[in-house]
Structure 1
Amino acid sequence: MTKTWTWSMTGYQFEGKSHQEIQDICVTAGFSGIECVPPLLQGCTTEEIQTIGGSYRNAGLVIETFHLPFSSEDDISSFYETTRRKAVDKACLWMERASAVGASVGIQHPTTNRFNVDEEGLDRYFNSIGKSLGVLLPVAEKLGFIIALENMLPAGGGRFTSRPAHFEQLLSEFDHPGLGFCLDTGHALVAGGEDAADFQMTMGSHLRAYHLADNSGDRDSHLAPGRGLVNWTKVFRRAAEQKFQGAMCIETPPFAKGPDYSLEAWKSLVTETDALVEESLG
């Protein structure tokens, strides 16, 4: 088995930096690009966003994925229609901006509330997200875009999409060329424990993005890969078996003194993650 993917870095680690500074870090460290995020484009016109995307391509970098908004008000599974519709409208706007910067995959939190589906009713969540996807997927299709639903933390237990079975049902009810999944390794460990790999297995060929983060299994501490208890051998071997060819987003800072990390720290993050892959694939 061989590594068929590249590494990108979440744009949330670069808030406050210029795009030139971000590009310099990525090129020096060995990232293929970034996962773009709303704060990096806030206040920009479509033309300015297109120019920003072009500057990354000119630097030899790519922006494959874009993290769509996920504040409490951005709940596409909300039971409140006013909230849900506003969240959908906002997601549509940011999909258009994501496409303008060059991204082809949008990472979408299926919910931003933390309630237990066993108490609130799983069918109510599927009813709400179904209405939202009914609007979002045609927009994505028009843009040549994929919406990748991310697995969530359990938030005390039973949160929507914190169980592999929820993704099985999403596929069963809403299978569409524009719908995919994003595996968050840290979320999977906290939610699944020893069965964390079940998320990746369930998502299967519909995996369109990865968020790589490590932790001790009790909280989403966003440690650099290899600094916690995630079973990276399982993650990387499964990705290699599936011949995943996108940019896996490392969603953590370097394991070093911050917050103004040195170029050496950024380079070490990439080389250490590469070493995990080599060890995993043999």
Structure 2
Amino acid sequence: MNISTSLNVFGTDYEQAIPVCKEAGFRALDFNYWDHQKDVLAKSWEEEEAWAHRIRAAADESGLPFTQMHGPVHGRSFREMVLGLNAESFLDMAKRSLRTASILGVPWVVLHASAISGNGESYGEVKEFNVKFFRQLFPVMEQTGVGIALENFYDRAARPHTARRTYCAMLDELVELIDTLDHPLVGACLDTGHAHEQGIHPNEIRKLGKRLKATHINDNDGLHDQHLLPYQGSIDWPAVMSALHDIQYEGDLTYETHQAIRFLPDALRLEGLKYAVAVGNYLIGLKGDPKGA
């Protein structure tokens, strides 16, 4: 298990971020396609392809592999999309993200399932819609060898009285969707912060089993999506690591902790990243001990 980080700790400047992450001690990287989504929409595929090759060259020069990528994000539902996207244009962007991931050497692209509109569709309708949508990606996945890791989300914290449900906020829903898609290139991404906001105990991580292919490791206070480093919020990290150990998770611990790092002054950023690596190595060292070291 390696300690990895999303490049979103630097915003969008990957040329600056990659060598600093290497110096800090990270052994792998996550590329946040989402951060570049607006710019990608303005690119032709040929321009995006050349851009991806430049990113790959920068990573290769530093000796850091990309082991996952946060793919494009459509918004809170498939009918309330960001940046003027619609179902057809978002599907095209998702396919392009898989091709870009292939150039970067990324094995898993993280995507979100969601409601159709959030206006009263039944659970069965939402599940069927998501199954049909993600199956449209199968041909590109099989062509590139890049899989999709569907991420758990949240709807409980900070909105306790809302009637709107967010599909796959519960791990049972995520498991059911993955099993219905029934494809070796479909897995799960565990976002520890989302699970904590949802009130999901770390013991429930075991439900994901071998489906778990990627992680978004971050902490919060249980109420807000704060994207902090472990031990800066209230997650039970020994319990998280015990669950990952029990399901024999083989991927990376990949930070999505930009709120703890991105806003540091440049003079402190390297030290902040070194501290993040030290925290990650400590987590790995827990080796399944539910009480911690």
**TM-score of Structure 1 vs Structure 2, range by shorter chain:** 0.7 to 0.9
Inter-partner Cα distance in structure 1 for 2:125 and 2:51: 40
Does residue 1:159 correspond to 2:166, yes or no?
yes
Give unmatched runs, 5+ long, in structure 1.
none
CA contact (8 A) 1:52 1:101 kept: yes
Aligned pair count reads: 270
Under a length normalisation based on structure 2, what TM-score does the superposition of the two structures give?
A: 0.82
Letter in 2 for 1:210: T
Residue 178 and residue 264 in structure 1: after superposition, are their counterparts in 2 closer, same or farther (change >3 A)?
same
Percent sequence identity over matched residues? 25
CA contact (8 A) 1:76 1:129 kept: no
Residue 154 and residue 53 in structure 1: after superposition, are their counterparts in 2 closer, same or farther (change >3 A)?
same
Give unmatched runs, 5+ long, in structure 2.
none
Other-structure match for 1:126:
127
Inter-partner Cα distance in structure 2 for 1:210 and 1:152: 13
Inter-partner Cα distance in structure 2 for 1:175 and 1:74: 23
Q: For residue 65 of structure 1, give the secondary structure of its aligned residue in structure 2.
A: strand
CA contact (8 A) 2:73 2:112 kept: yes
Residue 74 and residue 218 in structure 1: after superposition, are their counterparts in 2 closer, same or farther (change >3 A)?
closer
Inter-partner Cα distance in structure 2 for 1:262 and 1:135: 41
CA contact (8 A) 2:202 2:243 kept: no
Inter-partner Cα distance in structure 2 for 1:122 and 1:22: 41
Other-structure match for 1:235:
240
Residue 165 and residue 240 in structure 1: after superposition, are their counterparts in 2 closer, same or farther (change >3 A)?
closer
Letter in 2 for 1:167: L
Inter-partner Cα distance in structure 2 for 1:234 and 1:9: 21
Other-structure match for 1:191:
198
Deviates more, 1:155-164 or 1:177-186: 155-164
User: Cα RMSD over matched residues?
Assistant: 2.7
- Match 1:115 to one of 114, 118, 141: 118
Q: Provide Cα deviations, 1:75-127, integer angstroms capped at 9, x if missing partner.
A: 3999xxx93233212100111111112211000011277838xx431111112
Other-structure match for 2:107:
104
Letter in 2 for 1:208: K
Question: Map of 1:18-167 to 2, 5 A cutoff?
Answer: 18-19=14-15, 21-38=16-33, 39=35, 42=40, 43=43, 44-72=47-75, 75=78, 83-111=86-114, 115=118, 119-154=120-155, 156=159, 158-167=165-174
Does residue 1:9 correspond to 2:10, yes or no?
no
Inter-partner Cα distance in structure 1 for 2:74 and 2:207: 27
Letter in 1 for 2:283: L
Letter in 2 for 1:211: H
Residue 133 and residue 18 in structure 1: after superposition, are their counterparts in 2 closer, same or farther (change >3 A)?
closer
Does residue 1:173 correspond to 2:174, yes or no?
no
Question: Map of 1:270-281 to 2, 5 A cutoff?
Answer: 270-279=277-286, 281=289
Residue 270 and residue 121 in structure 1: after superposition, are their counterparts in 2 closer, same or farther (change >3 A)?
same
